[in-house]
Amino acid sequence: MKRIVILSGAGMSAESGISTFRDSNGLWQNHRIEEVASPEAWQKNPAMVLEFYNQRRKQLFEVEPNEGHKALAKLESAYHVQIITQNVDDLHERAGSTQVIHLHGELKKARSTVDPNLIYTLNHWELKLGDTCEKGSQLRPHIVWFGEAVPFMDKAVSIAKTADIFMVVGTSMVVYPAAGLIHYVPRNIPKYYIDPKAFHVHGIENMQVIQQKAGNALPKLVNDLLKDL
Ligand code: APR
């Protein structure tokens, strides 16, 4: 089976109703996203940080996967598909994709502030000050914040190197190291960049730039890829 590797970002879930980061100026209640999603913000104002993620988590319990997510899940009938997402939602999984790496963490999980190996799945939206891990320490969102290491990056790089086809969907390609993943992909394989603001990435060959929404472009592209076999 050929291997398709997909890097997805916030635009992937836009048509499900989850707003992207930078399309709306990246502001949340007048804070820059970096000021909410950082270890410094957590030190300074944990209640505000918890509230930011509580609102996003609450919304996640109300939205559904869109046509783009569903199309990618269909690819598994004929390809080995690995999704590497910057998104913290679970919409790829809910659409049926089985191999999903979350580079920036997962909204529906919380983890201990003393032991990063203690990770808990939340089945409710609210994480509060005073919610603790089994060692008695405050729980934090299981999110990779600005300035923190991206634990799955090495794994993502190894996977990118093995791709026969590579897709980038719904990401502004400005946040590193995720945006650098494309530079590890084999030079000559077909690549697609689907995003209304997609652009030719400097130094990348064989890339088709598709300036469309994921929900429009992916069902068609997936059909073509399934037909081409
Ligand atoms: N279909 C496809 N792409 C879309 C759609 C759509 N329907 N709607 C918007 N987009 C595109 C925008 O054109 C933009 O290029 O989605 C992209 C969203 O970019 P960002 O908001 O910068 O999101 P992303 O690239 O995922 O951000 C990376 O930054 O704040 C951090 O950790 C956060 O994972 C996030 C990271």
Smallest CA separation from ligand 1 atom 6, residue:
213
Residue 192 belongs to what H/E stretch? Answer: strand 191-194
- Whether the predicted model's global pTM rises above the 0.85 cut: yes
Smallest CA separation from ligand 1 atom 29, residue:
175
Indicate if ligand 1 lies below 6 Å from the C-beta of 138: no
Region 155-179: mean pLDDT is 97
Name the phi and psi angles at 140, rounded to 5.
-125, 160
Contact 125, 132 (CB under 8 A): no
Task: Quote the CA–CA distance of 92 and 216 in Å, as a whole number.
Answer: 17
What are the chain's domains? 1-18+65-104+150-229 (3.40.50.1220), 19-62+108-143 (3.30.1600.10)
How do residues 26-66 score in pLDDT, each as one tens digit? 667 777 888 899 999 999 999 999 999 999 999 999 999 99
How much of the chain exceeds pLDDT 70, in percent?
99
Measure 217 CA to ligand 1 centroid, in angstroms: 16
The alpha carbon of 200 is separated from its chain's Cα centroid by a whole number of angstroms, namely 21
Residue 104 annotated in active site: yes
Using the atom order of ligand 1, give the atom closest to the CA of residue 214: 1
The string of DSSP letters for 64-116 reads ---HHHHHHHHGGGTSEEEEEE---S-HHHHHT---EEETTEEEEEEEESS-T
Indicate if ligand 1 lies below 6 Å from the C-beta of 139: no
Task: Quote the CA–CA distance of 5 and 176 in Å, as a whole number.
Answer: 18
How do residues 130-164 score in pLDDT, each as one tens digit? 999 999 999 999 999 999 999 999 999 999 999 99
Q: What is the pLDDT of residue 135?
A: 98
Region 189-201: mean pLDDT is 98
Of the residues 7, 145, 172, which should be mutated to test ligand 1's pocket, given the most ligand atoms within 8 Å of the CB?
172
